[in-house]
Structure 1
Amino acid sequence: MTGGNAIRGTRVGSGPAVGEAERGESAPRKRVDYWCANGHHSTPSFALDAEVPDQWDCPRCGLPAGQDRNDPPPARRNEPFKSHLAYVKERRSEEDGMAILDEALAKLRERTGR
């Protein structure tokens, strides 16, 4: 037998008096249609006074979706993963890299006494 103070079969917000009278009036809304490049259709709702975005992420495939069914926005370009070395090579030339390496090696040799 369980304790006598257990409340069973209830959860927060449940009960007979839960409705608009308890929560207040919901804001007036408008639904906006969006289509992605894969042809998926979604209709999120926004408050009437909210600014509606030009693009919305498709909940099915994640592509950007626009309000024009015949001209959906193109898929975002995925940037390939770049290593730290790739970013360094974008900023520095081969000669700059060799000069920095020679300077670092000279400091190291000076510290170790070679």
Structure 2
Amino acid sequence: MASGNAIRGSRVGAGPMGEAERGDTAPRVWITFYCCNGHETRPSFASDAAIPENWDCPRCGFPAGPDRDNPPAPPRTEPYKTHLAYVRERRSNEDGEAILAEALAKLRGEV
């Protein structure tokens, strides 16, 4: 059994919690942001801070804006491309056939 003289629920240097100890908080303003899924977010900002145009929705991750009727559109995500897809963007089929023929000729020792 633990000794009976331990003070539970406190730490070294802990004191009374309150505004008097920490000082006054900065004046705040709460701005409501809306995402395309209808989620509502109300972050607070310092009253003299610049308010951003968009805010990331903490529920779905889509961008949110201050206008409920016109929220920002979700970002367009492009599907994953393989290495072969990038090569096909740069080369035509004829170029690919020529490179393949040259590589096979080297392997066979014809060059």
Give the TM-score normalised by the residue count of structure 1. 0.73
SS at match of 1:65: strand
Cα shift at 1:103:
2.6
Query: What are the superposed Cα offsets for residues 68-107 of structure 1, whole Å, 9 maximum, x if unpaired?
Result: 1111112222222221111211122112222222232233
**Structure 1 residues 99, 31: CA separation in 2 closer, same or farther (over 3 Å shift)?**
same
Distance (Å, rounded) in 2 between the aligned partners of 1:13 and 1:61: 40
For residue 106 of structure 2, what is the aligned residue in structure 1? 107
**Structure 1 residues 49, 102: CA separation in 2 closer, same or farther (over 3 Å shift)?**
farther
For residue 51 of structure 1, what is the aligned residue in structure 2? 50
Aligned Cα RMSD in Å?
3.0
Unaligned runs of 5+ in 1: none
Once the two structures are aligned, what percentage of the paired residues are identical?
65
**Structure 1 residues 79, 71: CA separation in 2 closer, same or farther (over 3 Å shift)?**
same
Give the TM-score normalised by the residue count of structure 2. 0.74
For residue 74 of structure 1, what is the aligned residue in structure 2? 73
Unaligned runs of 5+ in 2: none
Number of aligned residues: 111
Q: Which amino acid aligns with 1:9?
A: G
Distance (Å, rounded) in 2 between the aligned partners of 1:74 and 1:27: 33
